[in-house]
Structures are given as C-alpha cells and as structure tokens.
Structure 1
Amino acid sequence: MKRIFLIIAFASFSLHSFAQELNNKFKTIPAKDPAVKEVIPPKEVAPKENPPSPVEKPAPLQVNPDELFKDRNVYKQDANVEGIFYRRNQFLGNINTTSATSTIMYRDAAFVDGDKVKVYLNDKVIEPEVFLNGEFKSVKIDLVKGINKIDIEALNEGFASPNTAEFKVYDDKGQVISSSEWNVGTGYKAVIVLVKE
C-alpha cells in the first residue's frame, strides 16, 4: 500500500510540475488601450536656401595697402630676408573722421636708441627729421576732404634694430581715434590713412 501511495504521489507531483512549465512558456499581456495608434513620421522640411548676400562695394575712399605699396617710386620694396620681418612697409589702417584737423603724436616705443623719422602728408614732407625719444612729439595737420595719407619713414634704426615707434592720432576734439606701434627698417614707411568725411 505504501508503494501505491508513493507512486501516486510521485505521478501527481510530476504532472503538477509539467503543467506549470507549460503555463509559463508563453503568456500574452493585454494592451492597456486596445485601439492601435498609427505613428505618422514628421515631415521633412527642405533647408531654406538663403539668397546670396549682396556684394558689398568697398568704401570708395579706403586705401588698399597691396595697391598702395606697389608704387616703387614712393615705397621701398620689401626685403625677403629669412627671420627679419621689419624690412617691409607697414600699413596702420584707414581711419574715418569728421575732424577739420588732426594731431599725430609719436615717440620711441622701446629703448631710446637714436631712432629718427621723416613725416609726409600726401607724399609731401611736413617734418624732415624727427629724433624719437621717450617723450611724445606731435605734428598738427589740416585735413582735406577725402584721403589724407600720412607716411612715417624710418631714417635709421638707431643702435638697436628696427626703428620702433608708438603713435596716437587725435581728432580736433582731443579724442584718440587710433593708437598703434610700428617696427620698420631704414627706408621703409609706416602708413596711416585718415579719411575726412
């Protein structure tokens, strides 16, 4: 009797285990919302074609340094010496102003070593020889309508090359409208263009 009871217990235990395996293999999970929603992909928007930007005409009274320095009668040709960058002309910019006059102040920007310069206004000498020291020196000019080209030529390089100078340009109200430094070799020029509107 014990054997029969043991066989029946064993058989029912096996069937119970087999039934659980069958039930666990695959169960469907019901959806919360039985209605199927159709997903619509977003529309592709073609990139906007920007019209080409209008070509800006250069200001008629601006000086192009590349064209300016081509004149070998006025400007010494740049030297192509490797490692020496001051044997060239230096363009210090176009400056627009409404002033009737302008004052240009300059001095030696580094060690005071005997640097000398010559100052031109529209290719005419206005200061034949100026010794640069630590104090600012100045020249006042009357501006003509349009382009007023100021060339500062290095007459020498002093004891320590190159010829170094600091300059400031003031309008007729005493306001600084430009400030810079130059480093040029003997015979080369730094150029500032004041455009009177």
Structure 2
Amino acid sequence: MKKIFFLMVMSSISLQGFAQEINKSKFKAVPPKESKIKKEIPPAESAPKGNPPALVAKPNPLEINPEELFSDSALYKKESNSEGVFYRRNQYLGSFATKSFTSTIRYRDAAFVDGDKIKVYLNDKVIEPEVDLDSEFGGFKINLVPGTNKIDFEALNEGFAAPNTAEFQVYDDQGAVIFGSQWNVGTGYKATIILVKE
C-alpha cells in the first residue's frame, strides 16, 4: 500500500511540474502579414454642370382658366357685352373635387318666375334638351366618371325679364351639398361647373 501511495504522490508531483513548465513558457503571438491589397477611395462626387431639368408638375384638374375653357367657339358663344349689359357672356361657376360616384344637380328660377328655359350638357353631350325653370327645385342625377365631369347650363331664352337667372345646388351621393350658387347669363350663353371625381 505504501508503494501505491508513493506512486500516486510521485505522479501528482510530476504532473504538477509538467503543468507549471507549460505555464512558464512565454507565448508570442504571430503578427499579421501586411496586406498587399490597398483600399480604394471612391472619387468625390461632383455636382452636375448646368441647371437640372425642371420637374413636370402634374396638372391640377381644379385649376381651370375660364378663358381657355370658353375659347372653343364651336361649344361656347363669344362674349358680347355692351356698356351696362354684363350678362352676355359665359359664366364659370367653379371646379370642385368629390369622391362620389353620383351627383344630384338641382335648380330653379332665382328671381321672378318669368319663363326662363335652359338646356343641360354633361361633358358636351345634351342630357336635358329643354327645362322650364320655376319656383320649385327640379333636377337630375348623374353618374360621375373618374376625372373631369363638365356640366353646362345653356340659356335658351331670358324669359320676360333679362337675364336668364337660376339658383342651383350640387349634392354628392350622401346628400351633402358640394356647392350652391346662381347664374346670370344671356340667351345662347352657358354657365359651367366642373366636378372632378377623385
């Protein structure tokens, strides 16, 4: 048993001495080799010479120039206002955006009921050939196409008291008023409103 104990002590001493030798050695790390590949620096960006091209803005369908709108003599009678007579001209009533699929247009004689008559166009096509304006609201419903929907009210006469006058209202498909106003135009002239379906 003494021999076994002696062997164990000797082997632990020798292992401990061997372990200490490893720890005593000085380890030197190998330095990395210098890379032969040089990093390329990208060239500095230079500003383009001259002015950049102007951006083409998408035309706003709500911005309508009445002079351009009424310039087509095949569709609109030329203005012929004489001194003191302001209603012998076409009247632009405005452009309005809506998300509605349909719109209801209502109108009536705005002043004295004197036999005023109108013709109604939608995108230059007749939808009401002759309408007598009276004191009660009349009207129609239209299906709106995406984009521009132009509604023209042409005065067929001026009744007994010039000019042709009417009050009108435009409603969306929920019954909310989009716009309401009046027109005052002479015979053969048109009052125009534009609805832009978004």
**TM-score strictly above 0.5:** yes
Task: Tell me which stretches of 4 or more aligned residues in structure 1 moved more than 6 Å.
Answer: none
TM-aligned CA deviation for residue 173 of structure 1? 0.2
- Report the equivalent of 1:148: 149
Matched, 1:157 2:147: no
Q: Which amino acid letter does the alignment assign opposite residue 174 of structure 1?
A: G
Instruction: Provide, for residues 33-70 of structure 1, a one-character-per-residue CA deviation record: whole Å limited to 9, x for no partner.
Output: xxxxxxxxxxxxxxxxxxxxxxx875146432110100
Instruction: Provide, for residues 147-166 of structure 1, a one-character-per-residue CA deviation record: whole Å limited to 9, x for no partner.
Output: 00000000000000000000
Q: What is the distance in 1 between the residues matched to 2:96 and 2:160?
A: 32
RMSD, matched Cα: 1.7
Any gaps of 5 or more consecutive residues in structure 2?
1-56
- Matched residue SS, 1:187: coil
Q: What is the distance in 2 between the residues matched to 1:128 and 1:62?
A: 29
Q: Which amino acid letter does the alignment assign opposite residue 76 of structure 1?
A: K
- Report the equivalent of 2:111: 110
- Report the equivalent of 1:66: 67
Q: Which amino acid letter does the alignment assign opposite residue 184 of structure 1?
A: V
Whether the 8 Å contact between 1:61 and 1:146 is mirrored in structure 2 is: no
Instruction: Provide, for residues 89-127 of structure 1, a one-character-per-residue CA deviation record: whole Å limited to 9, x for no partner.
Output: 000000100000000000000000000000000000000
Q: Which amino acid letter does the alignment assign opposite residue 71 of structure 2?
A: K
Q: What is the distance in 2 between the residues matched to 1:83 and 1:139?
A: 35
Q: What is the distance in 1 between the residues matched to 2:162 and 2:146?
A: 37
Q: What is the distance in 1 between the residues matched to 2:111 and 2:67?
A: 28
- Report the equivalent of 2:102: 101
Whether the 8 Å contact between 1:105 and 1:136 is mirrored in structure 2 is: yes
Q: Which amino acid letter does the alignment assign opposite residue 106 of structure 2?
A: M
- Report the equivalent of 2:182: 181
Report the TM-score when normalising by structure 2: 0.70
TM-aligned CA deviation for residue 175 of structure 1? 0.3
Identity %: 71
Q: What is the distance in 2 between the residues matched to 1:143 and 1:175?
A: 16
Q: Which amino acid letter does the alignment assign opposite residue 66 of structure 1?
A: E
**Farther-moved stretch of structure 1 (181-190 vs 64-73):** 64-73
Matched, 1:123 2:124: yes
- Report the equivalent of 1:48: none
